[in-house]
Amino acid sequence: MTDQTPVLRLEGIVKTFPGVRALDGVSFDVRPGEVHALMGENGAGKSTLMKVLGGIHAPNEGQIFVGDEAVTMTSPKHAKAKGVVFIHQELSLADELTVAENIFLGELPLKGFGRVDWGKLYDDTNAILKTLNVGFDAKTRVGDLSIANQQMVEIGRALTVSPRAVIFDEPTASLTDSEKVVLFQVIAGLQEKGVGIIYISHRMEEIFKITDRISVLRDGQYRGTLLTAETNEDDVTKLMIGRSLDLSRSEATHELGDVALEVRGLACGSLFEDVSFKLHKGEVLGFYGLVGAGRTEIAETIFGLRTPSAGTILLNGEEVRITSPIDAVQRGISLVPEDRKDQGLVLGMNCRDNMTLPQVDDLTAGPFVSDGAEIAIFDQYRDKLDIRTPGWRQTVGNLSGGNQQKIVIGKWLSMRPNVLIVDEPTRGIDVGSKSEIHNLIRDLASQGYAVIVISSEMPEVLRVSDRIVAMFNGRIMRDFTAEEVTEDNLIQAISGISEKVA
Amino acid sequence: MTSANRKDMLKRGAIWGFILLELAFFSIIGDQLSVSDQPFLAYDNMLLVLKQSAPIGIIALGMTIVMINGNIDLSVGATFALAAIVMLDSMTWPFMQAMGDWAIPLAWLFALATGVIMGAINGIIVWKTGVDAFIVTLGAMLGFRGIVFMFNGEQPTSHLNWTLVDFAEAQFLGLHTATWFLLGAALVLWLLMTKTVHGRNAYAIGNNREAAVNAGIRVGPHFIWNFMLIGFLAALSAVVFYSESGSVNPNDGMLYELWAITAVVLGGTKLAGGYGSIISTLGGVIAIQLLRKGLGHIGADTQTVNLVIGLILIAVLVLDRQLNRKGQGELKI
């Protein structure tokens, strides 16, 4: 790294929207060959900053420099022409087109009379794919690729120009650990070429593994840049939320009750098999494993969304057959799904209606729904879960991720479930709300609820669970108590390294 | 009140503002250009607007519900014609004729039952096959229309019953029978959609079907109920209209589905589902009828009327988009 002129430099960027100062004087730079983390809670201004960089929003004040050149971005395409490219968290690929067509979408090589130069297209694409070291070729249909490989296609798109700065927005959100390793190799490859990288993520582990510096935003303000090697998670967190977080595990202080749910030899096709476990009242059972290990599928089977091919489910000691979510709800099983926005909430509806959705049938006076009964339930759980909303009329889509998740949890708690299953309780939720949700889960257990927590984040399962079930490839590898578990033996169990312990 | 809620109120009020604009425009311009001596705002003329809103209006109310639920029904025009034939023809059956005027409620019942059955067929297919409602009801539109033509070929089906005509032409408290049916249906459906479990669930399903399923809501039965409801309303619309006219052509009701959708969309209901209101649809229906009437009043012909309505529909939606989406960082295309 001889040339130390920053590839990308922001100076005093200000962006205001009516009533909000979304960005308030943000300045930092990205050096060639550097991985620069950008962190901040949801709403801290990261996305707005990206939109300013991509030319979607024009800044009210401040200046962007690419190399030495002052640039006013007008569109993502313009940004790309200047060498600033984005890898978005949400993939935007056309499934029915080939890898090559996707990579060169909008800039297909042409020959005379506007015909596509297919030969050149495939050659160029294969050259890019080679640098990414992937196992598929230019003519593969994108819809046939795994999510991780689709992300590689997205990265390939960035490489059709020689980028100076690449911005990754939560790139590992849907990747398994081994897929992450591949992604990190690609990032390292870009670094070697002197490309500057902005890496946006909530995941501390990754940040400390691959980045050189960390810049932090809070409430639209730039809070400082830290050298990764000289700081720790605690300092970064403090900078992000303005206080330090208690990340230690709260010990179980209560007695376990009877077995609320028992599963014996449950299987569902090739998704998972031979799954057996017991869940007591007052206990949090954590399910940990890689994406695709079958955790969510087990939850969906218990909730009646999938039909098991073998095995039995016992609720409070009694064998039950659950054939639909309606069935599950009536038997007191609740599922807080993985994807809050698509599966958990009716975003266009208000807070109260969302919360009472599963039980509105029982809240009627004559032929009509009773407003009073609904508001009473909403008020009770708003207070209990500390949901911050201007009022029950607020549309759920306008709440923050943490508050949205609390609405979903409140919805099921108000049904007084026998078994509460929470799939990825804090996905996409900022650090502050995360620990609130963790405390909430612990509280529920101490109140006697039987809770299953499914999570891809090790600190999370370690923090909230009384026992942890480690899954690999559709099988339970091991069942840990909170005392036995360590990060090492957990990692081994979910990677299929350790022997299965019966 | 938050700004989001205020915006919502404004949106719901917009259609009524548009109606006021139409009224003002046609009264002022009408004075200059009118082909009749009667002022546009004359009481009788306004009563007529309401009455003439009824046939499409009653169907549009049903369309609102189906669209809020996340579906659409293109077969309503054909159901309308089929129900009319059933009503008029059944009154000529010997046993019905022997009943005298008691045949009337029975004929109505037959017609309404026809509508409900047609709707149920749509609903069951949409539920059980999972095929998009657009396709299912497009097929039904062709199929039901086929049945209409099988009945009497190109010939109209007629039966005039003077008791029925008197009833249809009656005015109660000033309003025509058809207007009462329109307002009554609007009231009942408004209560249904805003106050009952069925209405709540219909919104939830239209907004996010997966979340509704996960909340333990039975989606299929709600679909069927709503399709039966719109079938019933299409038949009710036919019953009210043909009680007066007494004669149905096999082509009657064509394009009614599109007029109904136009009114619903003008009222602000979203094609994608999950959002909309019965009262606003009523506004949309009245706005369209005022426009027809007003343009007629200043001497425009039917073709011009259709052109203007088409332009206004697009203009309204463009405006709606501008007001709602601007500055939200959406894709520039």
Q: How far is B332 from chain A (nearest CA, A)?
A: 9
pLDDT digits (tens, 9 = 90+) for A454-478: 988 778 888 899 999 998 888 898 8
Measured CA to CA in angstroms, residue A151 lies from A9, A143, A310 at distances of 26, 12, 35
Can you tell me the distance from the alpha carbon of B282 to that of B277, in angstroms, rounded to the nearest whole number?
9
**Residue A499 clears pLDDT 60, i.e. is over it:** no
Segment A387-413 shows an average pLDDT of 88
Are the beta carbons of A394 and B275 separated by less than 8 Å?
no
**Mutate: best of A92, A323, A346, A420, partner B, most B CBs <10 A:** A346
Nearest-Cα residue of chain A relative to residue B272? A348
A184, A132 contact by CB (below 8 A) = no
Residue B61, pLDDT score: 97
- For residue A245, give the nearest of A400, A466, A42, A463 by alpha carbon: A463
Residue contact B197–A398, C-beta within 8 A: no
Q: pLDDT band at A253, cuts 50/70/90?
A: low
Residues 6+ apart with CB under 8 A from A307: A268, A301, A323
Give the pLDDT score at B1: 45
> Residue B119, SS3?
helix
A-chain residues near B213 (CB < 8 A)? 325
* Residue bearing the bigger pLDDT, B329 or A171: A171
Nearest-CB residue to A348 (from B207, B213, B216) = B207
Average pLDDT over residues A206-224: 89
The pTM assigned to this predicted structure is 0.78
- Reduced to 3 states, what is the DSSP secondary structure of residue B323? helix
Q: Which of A349, A413, A420 to substitute to test the interface with B, most B CBs within 10 Å? A: A349
The 10 Å Cβ neighbour count of residue A19 is: 6
Residue-wise pLDDT tens digits, A61-106: 999 999 888 988 888 888 888 999 988 877 788 889 999 999 998 8
pLDDT at A247 over 60: no
Q: For position A245, what pLDDT does the model report?
A: 53
* Pair B229, B102: CB distance under 8 Å: no
Q: Are the Cβ atoms of A56 and B329 closer than 8 angstroms?
A: yes
Chain B residues with CB-CB distance to A51 below 8 A: 329
Chain B contact residues (CB < 8 Å to A) = 2, 4-5, 191, 195-197, 200-201, 203-204, 207-208, 210-218, 274-275, 327, 329, 332
Of the candidates B2, B204, B216, the beta carbon closest to that of A390 is on B2
Tell me: the pLDDT tens digits for B38-88?
788 888 889 999 999 999 999 999 999 999 999 999 999 999 999 999 999
Among residues 56-95 of chain A, which lie with CB inside 8 Å of chain B?
56-57, 75
Sign of CA dihedral A38, A42, A45, A46: positive
Residue B273 · residue B206 · CB < 8 Å = yes
| Token reading at B32 | 């200059």
Handedness of CA A228, A229, A231, A232 (dihedral sign): positive
Q: What's the pLDDT at A21?
A: 77
pLDDT above 50 for A292: yes
Answer whether residue A501 shows pLDDT above 50.
no
ipTM associated with this complex: 0.81
Q: Do B200 and A353 touch (CB under 8 A)?
A: yes
Closest CA to B280 of B263, B300, B305, B258: B263
* The pLDDT of residue A281: 93
- CA-based angle A339:A344:A349, to the nearest 5? 130
- Model confidence over A5-17: pLDDT tens digits? 899 999 999 988 7
Query: What pLDDT shows up at residue A165?
Result: 93
Residues A407-438 have pLDDT tens digits of 999 999 998 899 999 999 988 777 778 888 89
Q: For an interface test with A, which of B214, B277, B328 has the most A Cβ atoms less than 10 Å from its Cβ? A: B214
Residue that wins the pLDDT comparison between B225 and A144 = B225
Q: Are strands B171-172 and B157-158 parallel, antiparallel or unpaired?
A: unpaired
**Residue A1 pLDDT greater than 60, yes or no:** no
What's the per-residue H, E or C state across B259-307?
HHHHHHHHCCCCCCCCCCCHHHHHHHHHHHHHHHHHHHHCCCCHHHHHH
Q: Is the CB of residue A268 less than 8 Å from the CB of residue A274?
A: no
Residue where the block lists tokens 């009788």: B44
- From chain A, the residues in CB contact with B327 under 8 A are 17
Q: Based on the number of CB atoms within 10 Å of its own CB, is A373 exposed (0-12), middle (13-18) or buried (19 or more)?
A: middle
A497: confidence class by pLDDT, cuts 50, 70, 90: low
Distances (CA, A) of B162 to A189, B92, B243, B249: 88, 14, 9, 20
Q: What is the least distance, in Å, from the CA of B274 to any CA of chain A?
A: 7
Distance to chain B for A189, nearest Cα, Å: 31
Within 10 angstroms of residue B208's Cβ, the number of other Cβ atoms is: 25
pLDDT at A30: 93
Instruction: Give the percent of chain A with pLDDT over 90.
Output: 40
Q: Supply φ then ψ for residue A54, to 5 degrees.
A: -85, 0
Show residues of chain B in contact with A393, CB under 8 Å.
2, 5
* Structural domains of chain A sorted by starting position, each given as residue range(s) with its CATH number in brackets: 8-241 (3.40.50.300), 256-332+418-502 (3.40.50.300), 351-416 (no CATH)
Q: Which residue numbers in chain B have pLDDT < 70?
A: 1-9, 323-333
pLDDT band at A500 (very low <50, low <70, confident <90, very high): very low
| Residue A408 confidence (pLDDT) | 93
The pLDDT, as a whole number, for residue B191 is 96
Task: Determine which helix (DSSP H) or strand (DSSP E) holds A335, and give its type and residue range.
Answer: strand A333-336
Nearest-CB residue to B216 (from A329, A346, A398): A329
- DSSP 8-state code for residue A350: B
The reply to whether residue A345 touches residue B208, judged by beta carbons under 8 angstroms, is yes
Task: With cut-offs at 50, 70 and 90, classify the pLDDT of residue A201.
Answer: confident
**C-alpha closest to that of A190 among A162, A209, A220, A171:** A162
